[in-house]
Chains A and B, each alone.
Chain A
Amino acid sequence: MTISQVGSYSASKGIKVSTVNSKEILSGTTLIKRGFAHMQKHGVIMDVTNVEQAQIAEDAGAVAVMVLDKLPYDVRHAGGVARTASVKVIEAVLDSVSIPIMAKCRIGHSSEASILVEIGVDMVDESEVLSPADESRHIWKWNYTTPFVNGAKNLGDALRRIEEGAAMIRTKGEPGTGDVSEAVTHIRMINNEMKKLKGIHDNGDNQELIKIAREIRSSFEIVKETARLGRLPVVNFAAGGISTPADAALLMSLGCDGIFVGSGIFKAEDPLERAKAVVIATTYFDDPKTVLEAQKMIDERKSMLGLDIKNLDLKMQERGPTI
């Protein structure tokens, strides 16, 4: 199988069986959910708050849009409780663009998730950008036919989310800051952990693998498969603080499968050109000449100013359950 099935829950309520002309058809299988994420690879998923932004994102080459009530930068400034976006806005976006549409629900908020699924979004992001609804548990995502994406700061986070049913991982940075340093740190950390696992696997040391599995609070099965693959068993995108083509290229060069851009595009003064430039730099990340061409399309004076992570009152990446 091209896509790893590791961590699948066989009694998943999200699997729907039906028949068409006496042929059995299956929806919501691990392959169909993880497969959806594979179609996003090498692409840019852009945060939008209305139809106009969604259309700009589509025209600029976004592979999908993520609908929010407020961009992470504005969530930070508004304070208060950040919840899922208005149903009307999500429905309007669904009717206006042809690319996949994702939306965020609060961590642990299975009712918000169900609403998003009913509206018909293509993927649900259980996200720390919104205020967590449950401080001790994430959603059991195997209950849904629609795939989910979750954030992760380290390998244990990522593998636990996959075992709960996440079909895609985004490596957490610090959203709404315009600063990629946290995303870079966490991607390096996950990469280093996986490199170490691969070495142990190649030495055939299962006892060491099960010890690590216990340390990072994940199952032996998924740790062993990750060690064998030398990468996460699902698609892994970078997120948090990406604002320029060069940022996108940097994160792709660290081995991510694609990127999420939050505030970086629509908090800038040149969203259409910038979005296009980020798309180009994501595809040609390893080609400095083309990244330069992309970087020329934007003006640094129009970039979002950004926030120094050291001075933040709210660290979104640290929100939600630790297990």
Chain B
Amino acid sequence: MIKFNLNGRKIETDAPPTARLLDVIREDFTLIGTKEGCGEGECGACSVFVNNLLQNSCLIPIGSIDGAEVVTIEGIMESDQFKILDESYSEAGGVQCGYCIPGMVMASAALLSQNPHPSEDEIREGISGNLCRCTGYNMIVEAINMAAKKGDGLWKKQ
């Protein structure tokens, strides 16, 4: 049995140790906000936090994260930071088809919590592991910039 913490809840799973964290959270726990894009760590659609660090859940064998804290997009939806990101993405027009957005929002939250006032280059670096095929990125960069300003003081430096 592998035990870890998922969105603040202690959970156990009998999935094999090589099962991808992505499959376990989507299929065993029906947390389907986390998406599968490439399945090879190149698109960021499956981004989650493991022990507060942004990671690609498609590359994580669950046997390696015994005892870890995993947070998915569902786990941050009630936070004030999420609300600011939600508003900013809408206002900037950062969402079109929406498939990449849970991963983008996770990457945005990871960036802002480490660097509450990022430059444009730093924003682009922060989301460099996330692919979006609709927006051409500029509106997403604008959304993150807006979230940094609107949420000033909310993103505390870790």
Our verdict on whether A and B bind, yes or no, reads no
Residues of A within 8 A of B (CB): none
